[in-house]
Amino acid sequence: MNNTSIYGYTLDQLGAWLEEHGEKRSRAGFVWDNLYRKRVKSISEMVDVPEQCVQLLSDHMTMQTMSEHTRQESKDGTVKFLFKLQDGNLIETVLMRHKFGLSVCVTTQVGCNIGCSFCASGLLKKSRDLSTGEIVEQIMKVQLYLDEVQRGELVSHIVVMGIGEPFDNFENVINFLKVMTDHKGLAIGPRHITVSTSGLAEKIKEFADLNLRVNLAISLHAPNNELRTRIMKINRGIPIEKLMEAIDYYLDRTNQRITIEYILLRGVNDGREQAVELTELLDSRRSYVNVNLIPYNPVDEHSQYQRSDKESVLEFYDELKKQGISCSVRMEHGTDIDAACGQLRSKQMKQQA
């Protein structure tokens, strides 16, 4: 069985591959038109591509590196997919409906080694990175689902916030972004894509140097080292000072706003004291940041954490706004279908066990 995904190639990479195998480089554009515009379901269905080229691609590549294992649909229109990879591993992808369009949250790794103490997706350690093709195929599987329900809808936004740490799979994630934003492919605008990282400082700088114009979100979740180390073990090696240095480098290189993600945990990081600390931490960067306050999704395995009550959320929000920090409270999606990232996957694996 061929397990090299045709979705794993940027347009230039596919052109070079075809040329190396005796075909014209220009045929890559026709292949991409079939993949992303016509959205064929198999290589053999491609039109406007010479038969020998179709056969060459069929002999070496596949469009199917995963299958739909489970699908859950929420009352609010959120659809959560559990995909099974060729090696038997399971990953999650989520389609969310917003007033501004359709957003898909993609997974970048099988498991996660970052070890955030509140996170469902980190319950299972990383076993491997996803390939570029496996990340792209998540988007295509969702788009093909939308095509099948025949509403004429297109994926318009992407958040790279599923299972795994995107910057721990840097090269494949960057190639994924290049495929998604290419005007000959799905042509999703860079400002419609957000990549979230738990704070790999050197990769944030490398990302800045690429200047892809894709949005960046930082999972901060605490305003000081003592608290952040307690809930996010990554802070042991990359303390807040080093993370802020990388953020400043990013802001200087790109002149582009970033999002600070902050999950509110009752009695842990949601007090006025932490809100004041956060405003002080972000003060010199206030023109370039937006704080996204995130309601916590309780997980059985992390029973030490509870969701902040609405009053605490509003008080935290008001303190940030009073100090001139732009902030918002994340709208929840799919609360009736294992909303927390990694929850559906871990539940399914428990059932199988």
Catalytic residues: 92, 341
3-state secondary structure of 81: strand
How far apart CA 88 and CA 277 sit, in angstroms, is 45
Strands (E), the chain: 66-73, 79-85, 90-98, 101-105, 109-110, 128-129, 155-160, 193-197, 215-219, 258-264, 289-295, 327-329
How far apart CA 190 and CA 181 sit, in angstroms, is 6
The structure tokens listed for 254 are 């790109």
Residue listed under structure tokens 């069929």: 58
DSSP annotation string for 206-242: HHHHHT---EEEEE---SSHHHHHHHBGGGGTS-HHH
DSSP annotation string for 49-78: S-HHHHHHHHHH-BS-SEEEEEEEE-TTS-
